[in-house]
Amino acid sequence: MHARPIIAFITGGYSGEAEISYKSAITIEKNIDTSKFEVYKIDIRKDGWLYTHADGGLYMIDKNDFSLLINGNKIYFDAVLVGIHGTPGEDGKLQGYFDMLGIPYTSCDAATSALTFNKRYTVAVAAFAGIHVAKSLHLFKDRPVDAAVIAAQLHFPVFVKPNNGGSSIGMSKVKSGDDLEAALAKAFMEDDQVLVEEFISGREFTIGVFRSKGKIITLPFTEVIAKNEFFDFEAKYHGKSEEITPAMVDEAIAEKVRSAALKVYQVFNCRGIVRIDFIYNEARGEPFMLEINTVPGQSEASIVPQQVKAMGWTLKDFYSALIEDALEHK
């Protein structure tokens, strides 16, 4: 090992979520402890994986071994800090590539990343482990299902959402069978698999969970109060929701949310920081898991940075803990 481990901080990505990756990158770059780590920011784009040198020079990553050649110096990385939302950084593709090269990284492994990127497979595995989830149907573009068939199997209102990806793009809340066709068409524009899920009423909580020094830590969680019908793209990125961190909640309820989050983290064999979304249904007295974000947003306004600060850590402490945890997997 060098005096300082050499870290590749990867940002960008191949989907529309790249813009969110770049927002996260600003916060992450400001808060990486450069006295501990030597950091190279790598922009992962379809036209090349690029490093921009301080002198303005552009260098391409050699994909054969994920290295950089700068002024005759070959640079190899000790670990990768994953900051890509969407494909190929959140769906397991890059994780599989790094596994093949034997380079550790700060996110969930390839299998968990791929699984959790598929909303339906995520809730199926969770349900199998005894975690409460909403009833849902999984639809495929090449096997159309009549709206009446869906209406007969699920109670309205329902959410119709693209099965893969994040950021709630293409999602609708549907109150009756009449609006189902239009909502399905909208979701199928984003993905060839669609999830139709019963609406669970209750309070929406979202909780960051990470592993440090062998311990799984749950962050103080957030209550999301959407001003829109639901926590959609507008609510997430254009301030159309109110977020209260830490949530004002009875300790008995808080304990249920924390223990459900801990269980999810273990069942899915998560690594690094993940953010898990729950609806706490008062009538049932149980948290229902909605989804798992394996590369949660890190912009200043994002939920995980708020939770880290509520725990009394600095973001510098937090990113150091994530990188150090990855380096232990070397």
CA atoms within 13 A on the CB side of 132: 16
In the prediction, which pLDDT does 150 show?
92
In the prediction, which pLDDT does 146 show?
87
In the prediction, which pLDDT does 3 show?
84
Residue 321 lies in a domain: no
CA distance 32 to 166: 25
Task: Show the CA angle centred on residue 111, arms to residues 110 and 115, nearest 5°.
Answer: 115
Residues 128 and 218 grouped into a single domain: yes
Distant-in-sequence, close-in-space partners of 294: CB < 8 Å, separation ≥ 6: 90, 107, 108, 112, 113, 116, 117, 270, 272, 274
Residue 330 lies in a domain: no
CA atoms within 13 A on the CB side of 129: 19
Q: Return the number of other C-beta atoms located less than 10 Å from residue 330's C-beta.
A: 11
Q: Any idea what the CATH number is for the domain that residue 279 is in?
A: 3.30.470.20
Residues 43 and 61 grouped into a single domain: yes
Candidates 31, 58, 54, 41; CA nearest to 7 is 41
Residue 312 lies in a domain: no
Q: Any idea what the CATH number is for the domain that residue 16 is in?
A: 3.40.50.20
Q: Which residues pair with 310 in a beta bridge?
A: none
Judge if pTM exceeds 0.75. Answer: yes
Residues 207 and 286 grouped into a single domain: yes
Residue 327 lies in a domain: no
Q: What range defines the domain where residue 255 resides?
A: 114-132+201-294
Distant-in-sequence, close-in-space partners of 36: CB < 8 Å, separation ≥ 6: 4, 5, 320, 323
pLDDT tens, per residue, the chain with 330 residues: 558 999 999 999 998 889 999 999 999 999 999 999 999 999 999 999 999 998 899 999 999 999 999 999 999 999 999 999 999 999 999 999 999 999 999 999 999 999 999 888 999 999 999 999 999 999 999 998 888 899 999 999 999 988 875 556 788 899 988 899 899 999 998 888 999 999 999 999 999 999 999 999 999 999 999 765 555 555 555 556 789 999 999 999 999 999 999 999 999 999 999 999 999 999 999 999 999 999 999 998 899 999 999 999 999 999 999 999 999 987
